[in-house]
Amino acid sequence: TKSRLQNTPFSYFEMGTDEMIQRELNILNQLQFGIKNKELTVYLQPKINLLTNEIEGFEALARWNSPVLGNVSPAEFIPIAEKSGKINEIDNLILRKVLIFQNHRQTNGLKMIPIAVNISPVHFYSESFINDFLSLVAEYHISPHYIKIEVTESVELFDFVKAKEILLELKKLGYESSIDDFGVGFSSLSYLQQLPFSEIKIDRSFINDIENSDMHAVVQTIVQLADKLRMHVVAEGIETSEQYSILQKIGCKSGQGFYFHKPMPLEEAQNLLDSISEK
Ligand code: C2E
Ligand code: MG
Ligand code: MG
Ligand code: MG
């Protein structure tokens, strides 16, 4: 029913199969309009240096407020966009918004920090990714240092040769890439070592359970491994001071999470950056 459609967060647990199919169809239909009518926006979540507490970057996260469906989480609409061939357009739209943000700061001589965009593996492995990416960044003249990409590993799509080729090309041009949600997917360590990622982002589910001694050991091992491979390591989803202090002790150098900042609208991120540069 209508009122139910407008309820967020949306719960698939309460739905039957028919309802789930209907919901997906609704999202798919509305997403077409949403992309065209600029209903998608970007939020930025700060990435924190855990040694100094300073903000060292942002991650760009898509937000969708549909006049028909209300707020729809990317956790829900990104997989549907991936299945229906809409994901490249969404990634590119978010990247463009980030480039415009950075370009504005650069043009006005304001403080800049790197911003990471999420690229779906569906898009990353598609024929058009490198061209999409390079032609978009070429429009805005931002130093590659200020744009990063995050790719979630995907068991189904993983292609070692292609991943290496794309990552190397990006690296040659000065763009750094992160492996996102590390630990929950494929994560073959021998592949990881051979792929030119500069950063590992440890999945939020690991950080959530870090007070458990087994999980503590797992995260510690990932951090030590990253150090050996000379990769930067970021803990995702830090929500409590206990998690924060464990990560500091383990030697994890960066983190993100609601404990520090939730993702925020661009204007708020502008103000936050401006307040830092005044200090
Ligand atoms: P992700 O890239 O792993 O992003 C981190 C997610 O964790 C974000 O969810 C963020 O809001 C959430 N998060 C951050 N800190 C905390 C915390 O302390 N606690 C909890 N519970 N959550 C936290 P969000 O924004 O809902 O995005 C979900 C996923 O959707 C992202 O996971 C990413 O895979 C995908 N996504 C978002 N925007 C884009 C996009 O522009 N393109 C693509 N391809 N995927 C996107
Ligand atoms: Mg990410
Ligand atoms: Mg992800
Ligand atoms: Mg992640």
Q: What are the residue ranges of helices labelled H in the chain?
A: 2-5, 17-36, 74-83, 87-107, 121-124, 129-140, 160-172, 189-194, 204-208, 213-228, 241-250, 266-278
**150-167 burial: b if 16+ Cβ within 10 Å, else e:** bbbbbeebeeeeebeebb
Cα–Cα distance for residue pair 149/170, rounded to 1 Å: 9
Q: How far is CA 38 from CA 63, 90, 110, in A?
A: 11, 11, 26
ipTM of the complex: 0.98
Report the percentage of the chain scoring pLDDT > 70: 94
For atom 19 of ligand 1, which residue has the closest CA?
237
What's the CA-to-centroid distance between 52 and ligand 3, angstroms? 26
The predicted-structure confidence for 33-59, as pLDDT tens digits, reads as follows: 999 999 999 999 999 999 999 999 999
Please say whether the beta carbons of 94 and 117 come within 8 A: yes
Cα–Cα distance for residue pair 78/176, rounded to 1 Å: 23
For atom 3 of ligand 1, which residue has the closest CA?
181
What pLDDT was estimated at residue 231? 94
Q: How far is CA 260 from CA 54, 125, 203, 255, in A?
A: 10, 33, 17, 9
Mutate to test the pocket of ligand 1, among 118, 239, 240 (most ligand atoms within 8 A of CB): 118
Please tell me the number of Cα atoms within 13 Å of 248 on its side-chain side: 12
What pLDDT was estimated at residue 3? 42
The predicted-structure confidence for 183-232, as pLDDT tens digits, reads as follows: 887 666 677 888 999 999 999 999 999 999 999 999 999 999 999 999 99
Mean pLDDT, the chain, integer: 93
Atom number, ligand 1, closest to the C-alpha of residue 201:
3
- In the numeric block, the tokens 């407020």 are attached to 65
Global pTM?
0.94
What's the CA-to-centroid distance between 204 and ligand 3, angstroms? 10
What's the CA-to-centroid distance between 150 and ligand 2, angstroms? 6
Atom number, ligand 1, closest to the C-alpha of residue 180:
3
Please say whether the beta carbons of 6 and 69 come within 8 A: yes
Structure tokens at 9: 């967060």
Measured from CB, residues less than 6 Å from any atom of ligand 1 are: 45, 61-62, 73-75, 78, 87, 90-91, 94, 118-120, 150, 152, 180-181, 204, 236-239, 256-258, 263
- In the numeric block, the tokens 């949403």 are attached to 34
Please say whether the beta carbons of 43 and 18 come within 8 A: no
Task: Give me the phi and psi of 232, to 5 degrees please.
Answer: -75, 145
What pLDDT was estimated at residue 10? 62
- Residues 128-138, mean pLDDT to the nearest whole number: 96
What's the CA-to-centroid distance between 79 and ligand 4, angstroms? 14
Sign, Cα dihedral of 186, 237, 255, 210: negative
What's the CA-to-centroid distance between 118 and ligand 2, angstroms? 5
